[in-house]
Amino acid sequence: MNRLSLKISAAIAVFAIPAQALAHHAMDGKLPSTMAEGMLSGLAHPVIGFDHLAFVVAVGMASVLAGYRFVLPILFIAATLAGTGLHLMAVNLPMVETVVAASVVAGGVLVLSGRKNSLALLAAVFAVAGIFHGYAYGESIVGTETRVLGAYLAGFAVIQVVIAIAAGAIIVDELGKRAAAFANAPARIVGGMVAGVGMLILGEQALAVIGLAT
């Protein structure tokens, strides 16, 4: 049991990374100007954005729990690409940051429940969330050249696939098998942490609205 506890701790340690360290853009806030910078920025963005990372992990876990480990992550990533496209076309989506944070809560709750949710429910949640997450991604790439944009999109699509599939395989499959008697305890623990991340972000946004936070 000690080994299992250590593995669970290692699997969720990413959520203990200080928020300030995650707040910096891969290009230090600058617009990428080469394909290499675009690729690096795309690879880094879903990882250094705490809310995005938490949701991608939730997507991977919920997908495995539901029995759709590849289809649903691909659907989510396609939706993020569409959302980025909307931003680049100057389409205005309302309350983007609030919806992103709320989606993190929802994703965490879906995993925390430990249930095998329906394909239709997960597809709807991931599609809507993906559009808003992708729209938020687009903020860091608006105004760049087409070839750099292509590298950026390729980078963030690839890294999200890797994170989602790895999260499902490690947390649900590997750790879940070792804790079979505890009804997906590892996934549910991480799901609770994901939901907590979303609630924390929503709380910060609420405080900012009433002038108690920046």
For the segment 160-178, what is each residue's pLDDT rounded down to a tens digit? 999 999 999 988 887 776 6
- 3-state class of 67 per DSSP? coil
Residue 210 has pLDDT above 80, yes or no: yes
% the chain with pLDDT above 70 = 82
Quote the pTM value: 0.85
% the chain with pLDDT above 90 = 60
The per-residue pLDDT for range 30-89, each reduced to its tens digit, is: 788 899 999 998 998 888 888 999 999 999 999 999 999 999 999 999 999 999 999 999
Is the Cβ–Cβ distance between 56 and 125 less than 8 Å? no
Distance between CA atoms of residues 159 and 163, nearest Å: 6
Residue 192 has pLDDT above 60, yes or no: yes
- 3-state class of 155 per DSSP? helix
Residue 105 has pLDDT above 50, yes or no: yes
Average pLDDT, the chain: 85
Greater pLDDT, 201 or 178: 201
Distance between CA atoms of residues 86 and 40, nearest Å: 22
Residue 137 has pLDDT above 50, yes or no: yes
The per-residue pLDDT for range 112-128, each reduced to its tens digit, is: 998 889 999 999 999 99
Q: What angle do CA 22, 105, 112 make, to 5 degrees?
A: 110
67 sits in the region (left: phi over 0; alpha: psi -120 to 50; else beta) called left
The per-residue pLDDT for range 144-156, each reduced to its tens digit, is: 898 999 999 999 9
Residue 23 has pLDDT above 50, yes or no: no
Residue 93 has pLDDT above 60, yes or no: yes
pLDDT (0 to 100) of residue 56: 96
Could you tell me the pLDDT band of residue 29, with boundaries at 50, 70 and 90? Answer: low
Residue 18 has pLDDT above 60, yes or no: no
Distance between CA atoms of residues 205 and 130, nearest Å: 20
